Structure 1
Amino acid sequence: MSSKLVIQQPQPVMDARESDEWGSGICDCCQDVPGCCFAFWCCPCFACKHTKKYGECLCLPLLDGLCGFPAITMSMRVSMRHRYGIKDTMCRDCLYATFCPGCTWCQMSREMKRRQIQIVLVSAKNS
């Protein structure tokens, strides 16, 4: 008769203590003037840089230029709202992405900086 010993490690649990609102408004450019200047002068570069930081394909925002509708900007904003638990509407996401994509990318950049979760690695010793 053989016996098996099964050991399960406790899984980390993330407790969200952040607000369910955006950390800054769509036009709060004064909170990050260099970032807003970068987005104003070269929005595609700014969008690609922050899409990469978000964990998506670097060139994904360039697809917005291929169609008349900023689908990538809108979908990134919706994705960020879902990831961070921000309450807003798809109608507002669509309006912001369509009429002010630069401001939308700046707001998402500020939100990523604000909600960045630090990962702490703990090493275990065998004794």
Structure 2
Amino acid sequence: MNGFKEEPMPVVPSAPPLQPPNSADQTFSIINYGCTAGPPDHFTSSPPVPWSTGLCDCCDDVSSCCLTCWCPCITFGRIAEIIDRGSTSCGVSGALYTLILCVTGCSCMYSCFYRSKLRGQYFLVEQPCTDCCVHCCCEGCSLCQEYRELKNHGLDMSIGWHGNVERRKRSAAMKPAVYQGMKR
């Protein structure tokens, strides 16, 4: 018609679809991913994993249980600092928790938000009921469980986010490089 000959469009092969991760790839923490913002996007559809300890296993870590019993604001502040990856400090989060507790008596509404964030970061199952119900019915036990979960992921809760990042950098720098010789 116009003197132009229509040529067929070239076929471009598409990339294979992403496969779900195997069971070894389902646990993510600062240890696995260093200081990144989180796991890769294709892992967001991972099946939920169980908590490392139960809700009522408070006596598994007596020191955190006592800390939570006498000063839940400190426990919450430490949890919030780690979950927020250092963008909020332990002191600010703990003070806000205490202020909400003193003014309204409903600090559980604030802390249940962080339980949801923690579950999202580590792909944890929402159990034994919703996050809000767990915090409203048993605030102390839920804070202890979250604290233990973060400790079980290799974090030292007493040094905060930035301390854990520095510790991770030091341990990575101290690992000797192992070179293997030629093999036949």
Structure-2-length-normalised TM-score: 0.50
Aligned to 2:114: 76
Aligned to 2:98: 62
Shift of 1:101: 1.1
Alignment pair present for 1:93 and 2:131? yes
Distance 1:63-1:78 versus aligned 2 partners, 3 A rule:
farther
Moved more, 98-107 or 77-86: 98-107
Letter in 1 for 2:114: M
Letter in 2 for 1:47: F
Distance 1:33-1:89 versus aligned 2 partners, 3 A rule:
closer
- The answer to whether the 8 Å contact 1:47/1:105 transfers is yes
| Greater gyration radius | 2
Shift of 1:100: 1.5
Matches within 5 A, 1:1-127: 15-17=25-27, 20-54=49-83, 55=85, 56-57=87-88, 58=90, 59-60=92-93, 61-62=97-98, 64-65=100-101, 66-69=103-106, 70-88=108-126, 91-116=129-154, 119=168, 121=172
**Match of 2:130, SS?**
helix
Shift of 1:46: 2.0
Relative CO higher for 1 or 2, CA cutoff 8 Å, sep ≥ 6? 1
The size of the alignment, in residue pairs, is 110
Distance 1:30-1:77 versus aligned 2 partners, 3 A rule:
same
- The answer to whether the 8 Å contact 1:64/1:73 transfers is no
Among all aligned residue pairs of Structure 1 and Structure 2, give the percentage whose two residues are the same amino acid: 27
CA shift digits 1:68-126 (9 cap, x unpaired) = 4322210010000000001216952111111221111110000001123784646xxxx
- The answer to whether the 8 Å contact 1:74/1:97 transfers is yes
RMSD (Å), alpha carbons: 3.0
- The answer to whether the 8 Å contact 2:27/2:122 transfers is no
Letter in 2 for 1:76: Y
Q: Where does structure 1 lack aligned partners over 5 or more consecutive residues?
A: 1-14, 123-127
